[in-house]
Each structure stands twice: as structure tokens, then as C-alpha cells.
């Protein structure tokens, strides 16, 4: 009889321990809130198809990191105060002993962000997929790519005045570059605690480019300007395409060394493509490697979005400043496009200026769409691809400048 009672006692104690150690008793309201936000992002990615390749892994990473007791990632291992309290030397970027001994799966994957590995690898893949031909055919596109970076600095001013530190303000401003990997690269260096909010805002706005840009484009242009049919671009020789990435790499490295990591990898990928002798590497960089890194990047960025870092009023400010950055970037590109329209005697359609905010190829498609709405026989896509890829270079250069000034 006693043995039966002992058995039931042991059984109930085991069940009780399991219950006490389960997520049901340890989950907090803020974590439930984060999981609900992740559901919204999953909905946007799966149903609305908003940047699903990144929003879906980010959202799932948010679910993983906000599950209680799982220990799949320990963000305090990357907290400077915690690292110092463990007796590590100053400026140690993560508690490597703890990560190696006690880290979860995402702790190891997150190192790819913490050490700045994933964004340049993404740029390698983007370079392998990018044709700089439209930009080479019309080099003035580069100026449109420069103008659209103004949004970064406008948001930077706004963030600083709203009480963010210069390092946080730079990370928020870079959302205006409409370039996810660049935003992650800058934020992980200058304000790692904002990584989740900045990444979510950057990718959400990139998905919302077709919603954000057209009203600004229409407001700043006349019907006549939108209807301009641009002349066909000249063909670009393979020699030009091969020399371009080498020249850009050397030039950028000499002027802004901090931009070299991103620009150099972008140009390496492009040189692989244009050389036409590395087909296997191009295929790997543009497909398998890019896809693998995208999964790791998305999941680990999502994993940084813990309730304590994400559910704050500052996140709302970041999201608000992000849309301001996008808006000003778009407006600056269109306004420079208008200037080019005047100077060229009406040969340049100002709508291509909005594509300078990067977000390849979505922003170029928006230029095409708004242009064809005005004149159905107008095909601006290839003309807009020039400023669009120039925007990638421009945002990487702007990132390099912010890093050089603030690191």
C-alpha cells in the first residue's frame, strides 16, 4: 500500500516539477505580447507577402527568443555591462566563454551578426545578382543614388533631437537607406540593443515601398514630367562591366575605408558575375550562399527582439523616424530628378529619382508603375535600375561615413 502511495507521490512531484519548469508557468505578459507581434509579422509575410524571405525568419526568431525557459539565445551574453561584470577585458564584444559553454543554438548563429559576417555575405550575393549596366549607360544615375541618402541624415537629426544618442540616431537613420543588410551592419556596430527594432522597421518599410513612395512622387511632379519618355540606354560593353567593380572598390577603399566591407563584397560578387569565368561561384553566391545566410540573418535578428528591448516607446519612435527617413529619401531623389529634367531640357523623367533609395528592385518597379500610370507606353524600369543600384552603393557609402564618424 505504501509503495503505491510513494509511487503516486513521486509521480505527482515529477509532474509538478515538469509543470513548474514548463513555459506555461514562466511565461510573462510581455513575452506573450512579443509572440503576438511575431504572429502579425508572420501574417504580413505569408498572407500579404511583405518581404517574406526575411520577415518570416525574423518573426519566427522572435517567437523562439520569447519562449520562456528555452534558453535558445542569451542576449545578456552580449550586454557590455554583463560582460564587464564577468571580468572580461574592456571592449570585449561578447562573453565568449559563456557562449561556448552555456549558449543555445541561436547564440552561435547570432555570432554571424555580432562579428559582422552575414551582411557582407548578403552583399556578395546581391553583387552576383546585380547588373550595373543601366548605371554604366547613364552614370548620372549615381547622383540620384546620392540624393536619396538625404533621408538617412534627416532621420539622424530627428532621432538626435528626440533624445536618442548619436550612435542610436545613426542606426535609426540608416533605415532610410532602404537596405536591410546595411542597416543591420551599422546597428550591430553602433547600437546593438536596437537591432531588432531597426531590422523589423527596415524590412517592413522596404516591403511598403509601393505604398509609401507613389503619393510623394505624384505630389512632387507634374503630369507632364511623369509622362516623359526617356531615350533608350546605350549598350554597355563587358569590358566596362569588368572594370567598374574593380574601380569602385579601389576608390571607395581609398576614400572611406569603413565602407569597404560592404562595397568590397558587393563588387566582388559583381566581378564574379561579369567576368563570366566563375559561373559556379556566381551560382553559389547568388543562390545557395545567399539563401543560407538570409535564413541565419533573419532568425538571429528576430532573436534579438526580446520583450525588454522591443516593447518600449522608443520602438514606436524608431518606426516613426523610419518612415520619415524613407519619405525624405524619396523626395530628395525625385527633386534631383526634377532638376535633371530641367537641365536636360525635359529628357529625364524625375520619377526615376525615387529609385535611388535602394530597395532593389522594388523601388525601380514603383518608378515604372507610376510612370506607366501616366503614360502606358512609357517603360522606365531600366532607367530606374540605374539609380536603384546606385542607391545600394550610396547607402553603403553613407553607412561607412556614419561608422567612421561614430565608431
Binding region for another protein (CB under 8 A): 135-140, 142-143, 145-147, 149-150, 152-154, 156-157, 160-161, 165-167, 169, 230-234, 237, 239-240, 243-244, 247-248, 251-252, 255-256, 347, 390, 393-394, 397-398, 401-402, 404-406
Shortest Cβ 400–another protein spacing (Å)? 9
* 377 phi/psi in degrees, rounded to 5: -90, 5
Cα dihedral sign for 303, 308, 311, 313?
negative
**Run of H or E residues at 204:** helix 195-207
Shortest Cβ 375–another protein spacing (Å)? 16
- Whether 133 and 241 have beta carbons less than 8 Å apart is answered as yes
Q: How far apart are CA 321 and CA 24, in angstroms?
A: 37
Of 159 and 198, the one with the shorter C-beta distance to another protein is: 159
Of 53 and 405, the one with the shorter C-beta distance to another protein is: 405
Shortest Cβ 204–another protein spacing (Å)? 25
Shortest Cβ 54–another protein spacing (Å)? 25
Of 109 and 393, the one with the shorter C-beta distance to another protein is: 393
Of 104 and 173, the one with the shorter C-beta distance to another protein is: 173
Q: How far apart are CA 33 and CA 24, in angstroms?
A: 15
Interhelix angle 195-207/313-343, rounded to 10 degrees, is: 40
Of 65 and 330, the one with the shorter C-beta distance to another protein is: 330
- The cell numbers describing 100, all together, are 561556448
Shortest Cβ 169–another protein spacing (Å)? 7
- The cell numbers describing 309, all together, are 528591448
Of 275 and 284, the one with the shorter C-beta distance to another protein is: 275
Closest by CA position to 200, among listed 216, 184, 223, 214: 184
Shortest Cβ 168–another protein spacing (Å)? 11
Convert 180-199 to b/e letters by CB count within 10 Å (16 or more is b).
bbbbbbbbbbbbbbbbbbbb
Amino acid at each position: 500500500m505504501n509503495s503505491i502511495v510513494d509511487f503516486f507521490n513521486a509521480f505527482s512531484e515529477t509532474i509538478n516539477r515538469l509543470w513548474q519548469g514548463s513555459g506555461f508557468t514562466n511565461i510573462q505578459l510581455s513575452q506573450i505580447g512579443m509572440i503576438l507581434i511575431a504572429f502579425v509579422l508572420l501574417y504580413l509575410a505569408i498572407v500579404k507577402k511583405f518581404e517574406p524571405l526575411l520577415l518570416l525568419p525574423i518573426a519566427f526568431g522572435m517567437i523562439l527568443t520569447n519562449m520562456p525557459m528555452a534558453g535558445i539565445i542569451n542576449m545578456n551574453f552580449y550586454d557590455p555591462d554583463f560582460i564587464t561584470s564577468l571580468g572580461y577585458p574592456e571592449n570585449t564584444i561578447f562573453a565568449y566563454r559563456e557562449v561556448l559553454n552555456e549558449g543555445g543554438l541561436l547564440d552561435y548563429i547570432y555570432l554571424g551578426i555580432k562579428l559582422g559576417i552575414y551582411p557582407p555575405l548578403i552583399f556578395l550575393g546581391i553583387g552576383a545578382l546585380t547588373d550595373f549596366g543601366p548605371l554604366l549607360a547613364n552614370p548620372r544615375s549615381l547622383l540620384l543614388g546620392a540624393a536619396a541618402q538625404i533621408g538617412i541624415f534627416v532621420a539622424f537629426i530627428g532621432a538626435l533631437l528626440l533624445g536618442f544618442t548619436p550612435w542610436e540616431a545613426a542606426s535609426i537613420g540608416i533605415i532610410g537607406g532602404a537596405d536591410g543588410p546595411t542597416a543591420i551592419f551599422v546597428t550591430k556596430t553602433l547600437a546593438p540593443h536596437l537591432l531588432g527594432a531597426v531590422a523589423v522597421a527596415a524590412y517592413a518599410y522596404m516591403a511598403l515601398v509601393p505604398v509609401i513612395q507613389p503619393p510623394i512622387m505624384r505630389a512632387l511632379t507634374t503630369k507632364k514630367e511623369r509622362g516623359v519618355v526617356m531615350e533608350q540606354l546605350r549598350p554597355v560593353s563587358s569590358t566596362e562591366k569588368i572594370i567598374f567593380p574593380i574601380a569602385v572598390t579601389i576608390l571607395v577603399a581609398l576614400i572611406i575605408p569603413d565602407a569597404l566591407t560592404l562595397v568590397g563584397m558587393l563588387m566582388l560578387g559583381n566581378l564574379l558575375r561579369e567576368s563570366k569565368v566563375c559561373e559556379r561561384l556566381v551560382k553559389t553566391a547568388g543562390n545557395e550562399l545567399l539563401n543560407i545566410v538570409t535564413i541565419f540573418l533573419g532568425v538571429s535578428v528576430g532573436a534579438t527582439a526580446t520583450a525588454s528591448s522591443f516593447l518600449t516607446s522608443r520602438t514606436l519612435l524608431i518606426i516613426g523616424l523610419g518612415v520619415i527617413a524613407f519619405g525624405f529619401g524619396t523626395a530628395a531623389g525625385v527633386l534631383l530628378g526634377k532638376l535633371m529634367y530641367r537641365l536636360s531640357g525635359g529628357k529625364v523623367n524625375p520619377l526615376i529619382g525615387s529609385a535611388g533609395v535602394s530597395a532593389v528592385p522594388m523601388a525601380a518597379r514603383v518608378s515604372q508603375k507610376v510612370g506607366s500610370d501616366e503614360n502606358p507606353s512609357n517603360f522606365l524600369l531600366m532607367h530606374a535600375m540605374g539609380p536603384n543600384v546606385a542607391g545600394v552603393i550610396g547607402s553603403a557609402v553613407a553607412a561607412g561615413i556614419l561608422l567612421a564618424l561614430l565608431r
